[in-house]
Structure 1
Amino acid sequence: MGGSSQADIGLVIAVKRLAAAKTRLAPVFSSATREAVVLAMLVDTVTAAAAVPAVQSITVVTPDDVAADAARELGARVLADPTPDGHHDPLNNAIAVAERTVRAETPNVVVLQGDLPALQPHELGEAIAAGRAHQRSFVCDRHGSGTSALLAFGVGLDPRFGADSAHRHRRSGAVELTGVWPGLRCDIDTPDDLLEARRLGVGAATARALAGFR
């Protein structure tokens, strides 16, 4: 990360409070285990992203102290999420805050979901390379409705994360990238998503957090 002349991407990851994240995993995990799994997925996502030569910096924006400490240990910059409670669009607001900071360093910004435990560095690298052909582009999730990554080269991100975000990003003019990147597309919302990630092969932190679960 940041060690070569081709490193020109400022990567942004927004993370909720761990206690509020991935509530659809609650039927299979205790609260403590669910928080540990969410944190582990963030660690594996940041670790994979940091291995991509094009990535100049990684910025994690979060209100969670534990997630912040883990991100710092991996070399990411951490921004405290200033979004007030009750904000109508907290995720996109957090991304916008981080984007303003990152754009002071580079005009090329990529938002990545923080729950991609099966992400392979080459997948993200290939998506970034494909995205360079467009000002704004995105990678949808494996279900075709969500967004795993949003890329912007020299223009604003205009993030539309949330319900049906793939459709919203498409309607906003972002180009859909269609590469075969199963780990990049496998963000985790449900137990079935986690099973698919394990089939693909999760990172070391997630594997440890899931030890004993079948």
Structure 2
Amino acid sequence: MSWTVVVPLKPAARGKSRLTGASVELVRAIGLDTVTAAVGAASVVRVVVVTSDAATAAAVADDARVTVAPDPGAGLNAAIAAGVAVAGAGPVAALLGDVPALVPAELDLALGLAARHPRSVVPDAEGTGSTLVTAAGVPWESAFGPDSFARHLALGCVPLAVDAASGLRRDVDTLAQLRAVLDRAGPLTRAAWTAGA
């Protein structure tokens, strides 16, 4: 099964307010490393990056497999819905843009599991949030936000058996979480971390 992956990326300056202490460059690098991992997955034929950040859009624009869609500015679920609309027909997944330790093989594994279900979800390492939501053959629905894992289950998403150590489950909302995965993070994230150290 071939997938389109939607990656919503906030403007780096706004993302910085959540990742307290991080530079704009570091926040942008985390998103770009996430996009690079998605592009590298064998089961992914297209990545739709939803953003209003001009520098982020410029950084991904040269890759023929990446389409940039404007963020409508109405929250995370609306941004993802805008990306899904651009994606068109076929299996689609929403991947949050803060998993810098993700590698393509981990995403391929999850999407292979997702192919068995109309809807599925991957929880974050804490088990309360969601890092990946998929839909195949059914209309798109998502419920990102606080306690999103439980809300995605309520939408009929099947939880995928992705190992807790997988980079796909290690989203970074704090610098402590980033430090915990830094040795496995993508090159842009590591370089931005070093530059800001």
TM-score range, shorter chain: over 0.9
DSSP-derived class of the 2:42 partner: coil
Structure-2 residue corresponding to 1:53? 42
- 1:1-214 to structure 2, matched below 5 A, reads 8-26=2-20, 28-29=21-22, 34-75=23-64, 76-83=66-73, 87=74, 90-103=75-88, 106-180=89-163, 182-199=166-183, 201-211=184-194
Partners of 1:22 and 1:193 lie apart in 2 by 14
TM-score by length of 1: 0.86
Q: Which amino acid aligns with 1:71?
A: V
Give the CA RMSD over aligned residues.
1.6
Q: Which amino acid aligns with 2:68?
A: V
Q: Which amino acid aligns with 1:9?
A: W
- Residue pair 1:61, 1:79 contacting (<8 A) in 2 also: yes
TM-score by length of 2: 0.93
- Residue pair 2:69, 2:86 contacting (<8 A) in 1 also: no
Q: Structure 2: 5+ residue runs without aligned partners?
A: none
Q: Structure 1: 5+ residue runs without aligned partners?
A: 1-5
Partners of 1:152 and 1:24 lie apart in 2 by 28
Deviation at 1:22, TM superposition (A): 4.1
Q: Which amino acid aligns with 1:57?
A: R
Partners of 1:41 and 1:74 lie apart in 2 by 18
DSSP-derived class of the 2:30 partner: helix
Deviation at 1:98, TM superposition (A): 1.2
Which consecutive segments of 4 or more residues in structure 1 shift more than 3 A?
Answer: none
Moved more, 183-192 or 172-181: 172-181
Deviation at 1:213, TM superposition (A): 5.9
Residue correspondences, number: 195
Change (3 A) 1:130 1:162: same
Moved more, 162-171 or 174-183: 174-183
DSSP-derived class of the 2:135 partner: strand
Partners of 1:189 and 1:78 lie apart in 2 by 24
Deviation at 1:74, TM superposition (A): 3.9
Greater Cα radius of gyration, structure 1 or 2: 1
Deviation at 1:73, TM superposition (A): 3.3
- Give CA-to-partner distance per residue, 1:2-57, whole Å, 9 cap, x none: xxxx5x2111011112111142432x33xxxx211111111211111111111010
DSSP-derived class of the 1:21 partner: helix
- Determine what percentage of the aligned residue pairs are the same residue: 35
